[in-house]
Structure 1
Amino acid sequence: MGSAKGGPPMSILARDHTAGSPPLHPGTAGRVRSVLASSGPTIGTSVTIAVALWFSLAPSLLPRTSSTQGLVSGLVVVLALAVRAGIARMRAPRPARVSGETEVRYLAASVAAASVVIAGTGAHHWQNALREAMGQAQIGPRYWLDVFVTASIVAALLVFSARAVRTILRSRQGRRIAVTIGTACLATWFAAGSALLSPAPGAPDPTSLSPLPSAAGLAGSKDSLVGWDTLGREGQRFVSLASAGSAVRTYVGLESAPDVPERAALAVRELERAGGFDRAHLVLAVPTGSGWVDAHAVEGFEARWGSDVAIVAQQYSDAPSWMTFLTDRDAAAESARTLTSAVRAHVDGMPASHRPEVHVYGQSLGASGAAAAFPDAEPGSCDTVLSGPPAGMSLPGGTVLANSSDPVVWWQPSLLWSPPDLSHARVDAPVPPWLPVITFAQTTVDLLTSLDAAPGHGHRYGQDQAQCTP
Structure 2
Amino acid sequence: MESMTKSQRSTATEPEASPWWLPSYVGLFVGVIFFALMFTPSLIPRPPIFQGLLGGLAFAIGYAIGHGSVVLWRYLELPEVPRPWRRAANIVLVIACAIAAVIYVPQAAAWQDEVRARLNMPPVETFNLLLVFAVAVITALLLILLGRLVLAGVRAASAGVYRWMPRRIASLLGAVIFIVLLVTIVNGTLVSATIGAIDRAQALVDVTDPPGAVVPAEDTRSGGPGSSIEWRQLGRAGKRFVTEGPRKADIEAFTGRQALEPIRVYAGLRAADSPEKQAEAALADLIRMGAFSRSILVIATPTGTGWVDNNGIAPLEYMHDGDIATVGVQYSYLQSPFSLVLEPGRAQDSAAAVFRTIYRYWKTLPEDSRPRLYLFGLSLGSHGSEASPPLHAWLGDSFDGAVWSGPPFRNRLWLTIQRDRDEGSPSWRPVFEGGANFRVIGHGGDASDAPSDWGRVRMVYIVYPSDAIVFFEESMFYRPPEWLTPPRGEDVSPLLRWYPIITALQVGIDMMLSAEVPPGHGHDYAVADYISAWNAVSAPANWTDEDAKRLATKIETETAKHSGSW
**For 1:367 and 1:221, how far apart are their aligned partners in 2?**
28
User: Quick one: structure 1 residues 112 and 418, their matched pair in 2 at CA, closer, same or farther if it must change by over 3 Å?
Assistant: closer
**For 1:157 and 1:409, how far apart are their aligned partners in 2?**
31
Say which is worse superposed, 440-449 or 78-87, in terms of deviation. Answer: 78-87
Counterpart contact for 2:30–2:66, Cα < 8 Å: yes
**For 1:187 and 1:62, how far apart are their aligned partners in 2?**
32
The aligned residue for residue 46 of structure 2 is 64
The one of 467, 471, 476 aligned to 1:415: 476
Deviation digits for residues 49-87 of structure 1 (CA, Å, limit 9, x no counterpart): 431223422432111001110121123223433444455
The one of 111, 115, 121 aligned to 1:126: 111
Counterpart contact for 1:402–1:426, Cα < 8 Å: no
SS at match of 1:452: coil
Say which is worse superposed, 279-288 or 134-143, in terms of deviation. Answer: 134-143
**For 1:348 and 1:83, how far apart are their aligned partners in 2?**
58
Q: CA deviation at 1:44?
A: 3.5
The aligned residue for residue 548 of structure 2 is none
Q: CA deviation at 1:43?
A: 6.2
Size of the aligned set, in residue pairs, is: 414
The aligned residue for residue 29 of structure 1 is none
User: Quick one: structure 1 residues 321 and 167, their matched pair in 2 at CA, closer, same or farther if it must change by over 3 Å?
Assistant: same
Counterpart contact for 1:304–1:467, Cα < 8 Å: no
Percent of aligned positions that are identical: 27
**For 2:242 and 2:362, how far apart are their aligned partners in 1?**
23
Deviation digits for residues 379-399 of structure 1 (CA, Å, limit 9, x no counterpart): xx9711111112252237310
Deviation digits for residues 34-56 of structure 1 (CA, Å, limit 9, x no counterpart): xxxxxxx9864663243122342
Larger radius of gyration: 1
**For 2:189 and 2:357, how far apart are their aligned partners in 1?**
46
User: Quick one: structure 1 residues 198 and 57, their matched pair in 2 at CA, closer, same or farther if it must change by over 3 Å?
Assistant: same
**For 1:389 and 1:230, how far apart are their aligned partners in 2?**
28
The aligned residue for residue 9 of structure 1 is none
The aligned residue for residue 279 of structure 2 is 264
**For 2:345 and 2:151, how far apart are their aligned partners in 1?**
42
**Alignment pair present for 1:218 and 2:221:** yes
Q: CA deviation at 1:98?
A: 4.9
Q: CA deviation at 1:131?
A: 0.4
**For 1:435 and 1:79, how far apart are their aligned partners in 2?**
14
Counterpart contact for 2:28–2:66, Cα < 8 Å: no
Say which is worse superposed, 146-155 or 382-391, in terms of deviation. Answer: 146-155
The 5 Å alignment of 1:236-247 reads 236-243=239-246, 244-245=250-251, 246-247=261-262
Counterpart contact for 2:109–2:127, Cα < 8 Å: no
Deviation digits for residues 256-314 of structure 1 (CA, Å, limit 9, x no counterpart): 12323332222222122233333322211111232221232123333433412221112
Say which is worse superposed, 182-191 or 338-347, in terms of deviation. Answer: 182-191
**Alignment pair present for 1:362 and 2:377:** yes
The aligned residue for residue 19 of structure 2 is none
Counterpart contact for 1:226–1:270, Cα < 8 Å: yes
**For 2:154 and 2:26, how far apart are their aligned partners in 1?**
29
**For 1:187 and 1:330, how far apart are their aligned partners in 2?**
17
The aligned residue for residue 129 of structure 2 is 144
The aligned residue for residue 401 of structure 2 is 383
The aligned residue for residue 235 of structure 1 is 238
The aligned residue for residue 394 of structure 1 is 413
Q: Give TM-score scaled by structure 1 length.
A: 0.74
User: Quick one: structure 1 residues 217 and 403, their matched pair in 2 at CA, closer, same or farther if it must change by over 3 Å?
Assistant: same
**For 2:210 and 2:28, how far apart are their aligned partners in 1?**
54
Q: CA deviation at 1:444?
A: 1.4
The aligned residue for residue 181 of structure 2 is none
**For 1:42 and 1:372, how far apart are their aligned partners in 2?**
49
Counterpart contact for 1:204–1:230, Cα < 8 Å: no
Counterpart contact for 2:245–2:310, Cα < 8 Å: no
Structure 2 unaligned regions, length at least 5 = 1-22, 157-185, 252-260, 415-436, 439-458, 540-566
**Alignment pair present for 1:292 and 2:292:** no
User: Quick one: structure 1 residues 75 and 350, their matched pair in 2 at CA, closer, same or farther if it must change by over 3 Å?
Assistant: closer
User: Quick one: structure 1 residues 262 and 441, their matched pair in 2 at CA, closer, same or farther if it must change by over 3 Å?
Assistant: same
**For 2:35 and 2:62, how far apart are their aligned partners in 1?**
10
Q: CA deviation at 1:371?
A: 2.1
Aligned-residue RMSD, C-alpha = 3.9
The one of 172, 181, 206 aligned to 2:208: 206
User: Quick one: structure 1 residues 148 and 196, their matched pair in 2 at CA, closer, same or farther if it must change by over 3 Å?
Assistant: closer
Amino acid paired to 1:206: T
**For 1:335 and 1:157, how far apart are their aligned partners in 2?**
39
SS at match of 1:258: coil
The aligned residue for residue 333 of structure 1 is 348
Amino acid paired to 1:414: S
The aligned residue for residue 440 of structure 1 is 504
Deviation digits for residues 320-371 of structure 1 (CA, Å, limit 9, x no counterpart): 3234333544333333333334333444444555322211011222213222
Amino acid paired to 2:62: A
Q: CA deviation at 1:134?
A: 1.4
Structure 1 unaligned regions, length at least 5 = 1-40, 172-181
Q: Give TM-score scaled by structure 2 length.
A: 0.63
Deviation digits for residues 117-137 of structure 1 (CA, Å, limit 9, x no counterpart): 322355444321220121212
**For 2:376 and 2:282, how far apart are their aligned partners in 1?**
16
User: Quick one: structure 1 residues 382 and 190, their matched pair in 2 at CA, closer, same or farther if it must change by over 3 Å?
Assistant: closer
The aligned residue for residue 461 of structure 1 is 525
